């Protein structure tokens, strides 16, 4: 976002349609992809790619804009997954409703975590969020039931594929899942775009960079961070329900593990946190590494993808501390300029 919205200048003479054309093309491409990709394996990989792009975009609202590094977003994925699954298994509630309820619970939990932790800075905040997410996972692992709700501890919950259909958020093929997560991603990106061009976005970024200066300019930094956290935890939680309905089996390790939180942060940092394109680029580059290393080295070198992520992260932080979106955005701008010859200098 740094370069893309800040130096926004009127694109004199360039028709609006042309400005949005590359984006629309990309969108059309994404929607047409399942028509070409017929292999279930590849579609599965693409769905996970979109899921992580969505998760990271949601994370980015607080981790990117507010300038803090939350490493416990898996907790919200877990809350979303468990809420909708428990409610649909025990009470036959549609996962769509469970999805929204889970989102609301996550929002409350996110704000409750944020209240004490947003006063901490840097690594302390990150550690506190890890501690919270891990605590929640261990709790769920050790709880067979929570009040009237069956959680099944470490064995997790199986969703029997009895009723397929949109209302049950359950499908026999992978295509519907692809379109649902793609729509969710488009919405999340749209929200991010709107936030980045709003008072909230400006003030969040200011508070993340120089809290004292931001406060002197009338910004209640802690309050805005809580708002960002609320939106972010809500959106993250929706992905949890999606994940549960996609895999039809959840257990604490699969939907609440630290690996998820870390992978989100890796994607954001390598792609470029605080930018709109960063999470998308990051997921596009890192998810395939993750999947193919699991397919080919899952037995011999499990966790290889995290090693690769680490190396890539070090290189990116050394040479492109704002993430890969920056050089790519510049390249894109230059390309557009050459093609259309209009001054949109960045």
Partner 1 sequence: MRLLELHRVSKHFGGIRAVEDFSLEVQAGEIVGLIGPNGAGKSTLFNCVAGVFPPTSGEIVFQGKRIEGRKPWELCRLGIARTFQIVKPFASRTVLYNVTVGAFATTSRLAEAERRALAVLRTLHMEEKAHVRAANLTIADRKRLEIARALATRPRLLLLDEVMAGLRPTEVDEMVEVIRRLRDSGITFFVIEHIMRAVMALSDRIAVLHFGHKIAEGLPAEVARDDRVIKAYLGEDYGAA
Q: Where do contacts with partner 1 occur on this chain (CB under 8 A)?
A: 2, 6-7, 9, 197-199, 202-203, 205-206, 209-210, 212-221, 322, 345
Classify strands 145-146 and 157-158 as parallel, antiparallel or unpaired.
unpaired
Question: For the chain, how many residues are written?
Answer: 346
With 0-12 CB in 10 A as exposed, 13-18 as middle and 19+ as buried, what is 125?
Answer: buried
Could you tell me the smallest distance in angstroms from the CB atom of residue 213 to partner 1?
4
Q: What does the alpha-carbon distance between residue 180 and residue 183 come to, in Å, rounded to a whole number?
A: 5
Could you tell me the smallest distance in angstroms from the CB atom of residue 42 to partner 1?
38
Percentage helix, strand, coil for the chain under 3-state DSSP, each rounded to 5 = 75, 5, 25
Bridge partner residues of 170 (DSSP): 165
Between 191 and 308, name the residue whose CB sits nearer to partner 1: 191
Main-chain dihedrals φ then ψ at residue 183, nearest 5 degrees? -65, -45
Bridge partner residues of 249 (DSSP): 158
Between 203 and 230, name the residue whose CB sits nearer to partner 1: 203
Between 164 and 317, name the residue whose CB sits nearer to partner 1: 317
Could you tell me the smallest distance in angstroms from the CB atom of residue 214 to partner 1?
7
Between 2 and 237, name the residue whose CB sits nearer to partner 1: 2
What tokens does 336 get?
């557009």
**Residues 285/270, Cβ–Cβ less than 8 Å:** yes
Could you tell me the smallest distance in angstroms from the CB atom of residue 194 to partner 1?
10
* Residue closest to 132 by CA, chosen among 121, 124, 142, 122: 124
Between 202 and 340, name the residue whose CB sits nearer to partner 1: 202
Between 144 and 209, name the residue whose CB sits nearer to partner 1: 209
* Residue closest to 75 by CA, chosen among 125, 138, 143: 138
> Alpha carbon 270 to chain centroid distance?
14
Q: Which residues contact 281 (CB under 8 A, 6 or more apart)?
A: 271, 272, 323, 324, 325, 328
Could you tell me the smallest distance in angstroms from the CB atom of residue 218 to partner 1?
4
Could you tell me the smallest distance in angstroms from the CB atom of residue 200 to partner 1?
9
Between 103 and 274, name the residue whose CB sits nearer to partner 1: 274
Could you tell me the smallest distance in angstroms from the CB atom of residue 330 to partner 1?
14
Between 71 and 224, name the residue whose CB sits nearer to partner 1: 224
**Residues 201/65, Cβ–Cβ less than 8 Å:** yes
Could you tell me the smallest distance in angstroms from the CB atom of residue 272 to partner 1?
12
Between 213 and 339, name the residue whose CB sits nearer to partner 1: 213
Main-chain dihedrals φ then ψ at residue 93, nearest 5 degrees? -70, 140
Q: What does the alpha-carbon distance between residue 235 and residue 223 come to, in Å, rounded to a whole number?
A: 19
**Residues 223/119, Cβ–Cβ less than 8 Å:** no
**Residues 255/244, Cβ–Cβ less than 8 Å:** yes
Could you tell me the smallest distance in angstroms from the CB atom of residue 333 to partner 1?
14
């Amino acid at each position: 976002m740094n370069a893309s919205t800040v130096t926004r200048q009127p694109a004199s003479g360039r028709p609006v349609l042309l400005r949005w054309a590359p984006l629309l093309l990309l969108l059309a491409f994404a929607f047409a992809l399942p028509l070409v990709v017929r292999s279930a394996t590849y579609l599965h990989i693409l769905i996970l790619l979109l899921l992580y792009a969505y998760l990271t975009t949601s994370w980015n609202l607080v981790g990117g804009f507010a300038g803090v590094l939350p490493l416990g977003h898996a907790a919200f994925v877990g809350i979303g997954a468990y809420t909708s699954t428990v409610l649909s298994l025990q009470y036959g509630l549609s996962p769509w409703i469970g999805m929204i309820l889970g989102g609301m619970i996550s929002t409350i939990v996110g704000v409750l975590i944020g209240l004490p932790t947003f006063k901490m800075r840097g690594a302390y905040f990150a550690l506190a969020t890890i501690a919270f997410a891990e605590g929640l996972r261990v709790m769920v692992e050790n709880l067979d039931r929570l009040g009237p709700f069956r959680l099944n501890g470490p064995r997790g919950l199986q969703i029997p594929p009895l009723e397929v259909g949109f209302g049950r958020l359950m499908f026999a093929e992978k295509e519907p899942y692809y379109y649902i997560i793609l729509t969710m991603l488009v919405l999340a990106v749209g929200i991010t775009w709107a936030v980045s061009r709003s008072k909230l976005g400006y003030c969040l970024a200011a508070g993340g960079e120089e809290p004292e200066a931001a406060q002197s300019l009338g910004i209640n930094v802690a309050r805005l961070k809580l708002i960002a956290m609320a939106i972010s935890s809500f959106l993250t939680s929706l992905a949890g329900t999606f994940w549960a309905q996609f895999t039809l089996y959840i257990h604490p390790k699969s939907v609440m593990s630290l690996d998820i939180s870390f992978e989100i942060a890796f994607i954001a940092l390598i792609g470029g946190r605080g930018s709109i394109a960063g999470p998308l680029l990051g997921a596009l580059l890192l998810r395939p590494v993750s999947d193919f290393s699991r397919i080919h080295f899952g037995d011999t070198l499990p966790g290889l993808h995290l090693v690769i992520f680490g190396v890539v992260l070090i290189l990116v932080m050394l040479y492109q501390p704002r993430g890969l979106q920056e050089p790519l955005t510049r390249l894109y701008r230059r390309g557009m300029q050459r093609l259309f010859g209009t001054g949109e200098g960045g």
